[in-house]
Amino acid sequence: MWLISQRTLRVIKIYFYIFEKSILMKQITSIEVLKKEAANPNGDYSDFFISLNFGARSSKRVFYDTENETFNVINEIDYSYQDDLTEEQLREETHIVFAIENGAFYKYE
């Protein structure tokens, strides 16, 4: 059985904190910022995630279609697909808007 001292645990936590901060990510602060970050002229999806408790993440791939003003979302956990979502549907059918409003939605840079 492994016994870890409190000091060792603090050092490990510090290393994880530094590692997490070294990953380049941008916080998405509004729907307008999401639209800008997810609108790719070539139709590619952008990689985002919802920050969950204890460092867990819920990864999403999002594309915003500027022509139709709709979102397409791929949920990476099960590869489920939601397409042609309006802003209101994005709010009602996903956790993305809730995460944005609570400062927990990020884009990988």
Q: Does any domain span residue 12? A: no
pLDDT one digit per residue (tens) for the chain, 109 residues: 466 677 776 777 766 666 665 567 899 999 999 999 999 988 899 999 999 988 889 999 999 999 999 999 999 999 999 999 999 999 999 999 999 999 999 998 8
Q: Does any domain span residue 40? A: yes
Q: How many domains does the chain have?
A: 1
Residue with tokens 């500027």: 66
Q: What is the pLDDT of residue 53?
A: 87
Question: Quick one: 79 exposed, middle or buried, by C-beta within 10 A (0-12, 13-18, 19+)?
Answer: exposed
Cβ contacts of residue 42 below 8 Å, gap of 6+?
none
Q: Does any domain span residue 3? A: no
**Residue 70 to residue 93: CA distance in whole angstroms:** 13
Q: Does any domain span residue 44? A: yes
Q: Does any domain span residue 41? A: yes
Q: Does any domain span residue 6? A: no
Q: What is the pLDDT of residue 1?
A: 47
* Residue 68: domain span: 25-108
Q: What is the pLDDT of residue 106?
A: 94
Residue type for position 27: Q
Q: What is the pLDDT of residue 7?
A: 75
Q: What is the pLDDT of residue 95?
A: 96
Cβ contacts of residue 31 below 8 Å, gap of 6+?
87, 90, 97, 100
Phi then psi dihedrals of residue 24, to 5 deg:
-75, 120
3-state SS class at 25: strand
Q: Does any domain span residue 18? A: no
Q: Does any domain span residue 73? A: yes
